[in-house]
Amino acid sequence: MTATLAIIGWVPPIVGHPFMRNAFLAGTGIAAGCGAVGYFVVLRSQVFTGDALSHVAFTGALAALAAGVDLRFGLFGATIAVASADDPAVPRVKKFLEDSDAEKKARASSVIPQR
């Protein structure tokens, strides 16, 4: 009980600062967004793709730094270029669009659990 009160005693001074309130609000939104996107990344088995793109983003930012331009140009440019050039979903999307409605329903029912 005493430990809980000690932890609660730290909260008001921290959230008393406006930048900390903004940080908690931004962090909550980012966490919710990442959780939603992460669910679909795992569902589509693209976890290693996400990991590879994070390494590409770092390399692109370093290349932009070496070129003397804004880091964000290199980060987003390299990530978008590699993601669009090596997208494993493109053949699956084309096949899905060419399939008949019965095949689409069968595939969707095998991925999405029915209640």
For residue 110, the model assigns a pLDDT of 58
Length of the chain: 115
Rounded to two decimals, the pTM is 0.45
What's the pLDDT tens digit per position in 42-56?
Answer: 777 777 777 888 888
Considering only residues 110 and 62, tell me which one the structure prediction assigns the higher pLDDT: 62
Q: Are 79 and 56 in contact (CB under 8 A)?
A: yes
For residue 30, the model assigns a pLDDT of 93
Question: Residue 73: is it exposed, middle or buried by C-beta count within 10 angstroms (0-12/13-18/19+)?
Answer: middle
For residue 68, the model assigns a pLDDT of 94
Q: What is the DSSP letter of 112?
A: S
For the chain, the domains span 1-43, 47-115
What's the pLDDT tens digit per position in 7-20?
Answer: 777 777 777 888 88
Q: What mean pLDDT value characterizes the chain?
A: 78
For residue 80, the model assigns a pLDDT of 87
Average pLDDT of span 49-71 = 89
The per-residue b/e assignment along 77-112, b for 16 or more CB within 10 angstroms, e otherwise, is bbbeebeeeeeeeeeeeeeeeeeeeeeeeeeeeeee
Instruction: Let me know the angle formed at the C-alpha of 32 by 76 and 17, rounded to the nearest 5 degrees.
Output: 90
